[in-house]
Structure 1
Amino acid sequence: MQDAAVLFAGGTGTVGRRAVEWFRKRNPEVPVLVGGRSAATAGEVADTVGTAEGLVIDMDRERMGLGHVPPLAAVVVLAPDDGLHGLALAQDQQVPYLNIGNGLVELGPELAAFAHRPQAAPVVLASHWMAGASTFLALRAGEAFSEVRSITIGALFDEEDEAGPLALHDMERLQRDAPAALVFASGRRSWVSGAAAAGTIQTIDGRTVAADAYAPLDVTSLYAATRAPDIRFDLAAGTSSSRRRGGAPAAEMVVEVRGRDDEGHLGLARWSLELAAGQASLTGLCVTLSLEVALGSGGGAPLGPGLYLPELLWAPQPFLSQLAASGAVVTNHSDQAPAA
């Protein structure tokens, strides 16, 4: 493989496979390296997508255990990387780095690594829910207002989703390491736990489901983007609306945004997003959309060195339109019509 390749570290996992598949589908000519712990599994994924090569990586070693590092176009980290070896590799090669696996309280080392080498590489931190899907949905809903007053996000994780056990394990790890969840209340950041973290979400099919406050990067991204005084993300596990209708276990989220319009009137915007292909597929697609901007795919200029979040790479409507074109159903419940 002569041309620089995109390295998907953790490309053999459930989310990793979907990310590789989406990237290959949308970028058929770009070489891919599928990194995993098993040579056989990495090779199988590479053979399936084509124009790809599997290789064994060790996330606990410098340069991820790679003796000879081939020319890279980007490093995408989809597996735990406690030593930040993927980031160091991207900085050494001066290529884009994208990570979706760190909780809000785990980002300090990455931020410090960027601050020490700010001109080395573009760094995209995408540890949002589904790599940014809910943030874009909330920002799109907020466009109805000149002043956003509150944002609530309700995400439903279907326990029969293909990503179920691993994703639930990762969420349990984050809740164990940081048992309090970040919210914004009355314009102040606050950490809630216990009874204060208990909440409910409204599903697409109208159910009220018990949930708990959760703190992906969406909370901080939305506060920075909107300055809404009240922001909260709640997560529930259960049966998705799609599966209750007899369909597949789907990725499902509902956002409610309250604000004032140009005339000062208070209003509510309620939007939902559903993808029948599930959580892993939606995450992989959102990873691909951010990665394409970082690489300059589609004729745009590649990202220069800097620190980025997904919502800084796309405007809400075009991003959601890309999701809709790939099978997602995005609905503005103000008029009950598909809206992307």
Structure 2
Amino acid sequence: MMKEMTEKVLFVGGSGVVGSCTVKLFRERHADIPILIGGRNLEKARAVARELSSAEAVDVDVDKPGLGLAKDVALAAVVMLVPDEGLKGLALAQEKGVPYLSIGNWLVEVGAEMAHFMRRPQASPIVLASHWHGGTAVFLTQASVTSLDTVRSVKVGAVVDELDATGPAAIADMKRGSEGGIGILAFKNGHRVWLSGAATTRTINAVDGRELEAMAFAPYDVVSLHAMTGADDVRFDIASSVSSSRLRGGSIATELVVEIEGEVGGKTQTRRASLEFTRGQATLTGVSVVLTLSTVLGLEGQPPVSPGLYFPEHLINAEWFLNELISAGATVLKED
């Protein structure tokens, strides 16, 4: 029988659009674990806390050591749902020896997290989950390449409904994730490339087959997919348009289409996988974060994760993850 957890899970940014979805989903999955909802606007944080049991709002300052919290606060994990610009959240987690999970820092910034981990590799589990929707495309790809001997190309197309209320912070993060000074990272012909100019545009297909103009983007997915598949070509593109669901009279949806080329027995094979989620981007991201966080804390039938540096796919079985998304309302299709 699992011992009751009395330490509190701190959600920094837990009153924002994505943050409040994540906190509520965590509470639905784990009814009794104490929660701290941290934010700059204490009234907003209190409003979210009032909707939940065993939840408390706290004032946090991402520019202060320890996030400005009392030194004796007992934490079970630090979850950064906003950018950890000065890595004060990471330092707090390492100081207390508890898991750290971040979805707010992008690929062009990851060197700082790596340096902090290397200085204190045994301090705590560090999970970098700033993948698109917390890793959905990576898991979708992982489940689709198992029958291939070799993977040559992985191209991900994401469709954001133009009416999806992701919130100002999410839009700002997406824009910052595309910045790096020298272009947008992809892999082409077996080499890292930095896309710029016309090379950043590509036509992608929506779930319903429509062709949409998209722009290259470089979340953690790009390096995760390259490491996982060994593909010579990897890129990720995003289009903003009317989602397929809304076009056919349904709800606002977020979409992913993964196109894969590889070989089986020396013969070229293609795979196509898609995911459609009609509860919005914020909820899909929240579900993914909760699944990863629950796994790290040992709440999904496995022991808690040991100290280390991880992406979500290092910790979670792809089929289990996708089945959980389906239970949450996603439609997943895999085609040979």
TM-score range, shorter chain: over 0.9
Whether 1:141 aligns to 2:140 is: no
Letter in 2 for 1:269: R
Contact 1:158–1:164 at 8 Å: present in 2 too?
Answer: no
Distance 1:176 1:229, change over 3 A: closer
Residue in structure 1 matched with residue 206 of structure 2 by the alignment: 203
Residue in structure 1 matched with residue 46 of structure 2 by the alignment: 43
Whether 1:228 aligns to 2:231 is: yes
| Equivalent position SS for 2:208 | coil
Give the distance between the partners of 2:250 and 2:141, measured in 1 at CA: 26
Residue in structure 2 matched with residue 327 of structure 1 by the alignment: 329
Residue in structure 2 matched with residue 30 of structure 1 by the alignment: 33
Alignment of 1:222-261 (within 5 A): 222-261=225-264
| Equivalent position SS for 2:147 | coil
Give the distance between the partners of 1:221 and 1:270, measured in 2 at CA: 18
1:219 corresponds, among 212, 217, 222, to: 222
TM-score (normalised: structure 2): 0.96
Structure 1 gap segments, 5+ residues each: 335-340
Identity %: 48
Give the distance between the partners of 1:69 and 1:114, measured in 2 at CA: 23
Calculate the aligned-residue CA RMSD, in Å: 1.5
Give the distance between the partners of 1:332 and 1:108, measured in 2 at CA: 35
Residue in structure 2 matched with residue 118 of structure 1 by the alignment: 121
Contact 2:99–2:297 at 8 Å: present in 1 too?
Answer: yes
Give the distance between the partners of 1:242 and 1:9, measured in 2 at CA: 32
Residue in structure 1 matched with residue 157 of structure 2 by the alignment: 154
Distance 1:168 1:302, change over 3 A: same
Letter in 1 for 2:11: F
1:102: Cα distance to partner?
A: 1.1
1:166: Cα distance to partner?
A: 3.1
Give the distance between the partners of 1:11 and 1:165, measured in 2 at CA: 15
1:66: Cα distance to partner?
A: 1.2
Letter in 2 for 1:169: A
Structure 2 gap segments, 5+ residues each: none
Letter in 2 for 1:237: S
Matched positions, count: 333
Give the distance between the partners of 2:168 and 2:14, measured in 1 at CA: 17
Alignment of 1:259-270 (within 5 A): 259-261=262-264, 263-270=265-272
Give the distance between the partners of 1:23 and 1:45, measured in 2 at CA: 13
Give the distance between the partners of 1:95 and 1:166, measured in 2 at CA: 26
| Equivalent position SS for 2:252 | coil
1:104: Cα distance to partner?
A: 0.7
1:132 corresponds, among 119, 131, 135, to: 135
Residue in structure 2 matched with residue 337 of structure 1 by the alignment: none
Residue in structure 1 matched with residue 315 of structure 2 by the alignment: 313
2:77 corresponds, among 69, 74, 79, to: 74
Give the distance between the partners of 1:144 and 1:321, measured in 2 at CA: 19
Letter in 2 for 1:157: V
Alignment of 1:5-16 (within 5 A): 5-16=8-19
Whether 1:54 aligns to 2:38 is: no
Give the distance between the partners of 2:47 and 2:8, measured in 1 at CA: 17
Give the distance between the partners of 1:236 and 1:49, measured in 2 at CA: 35
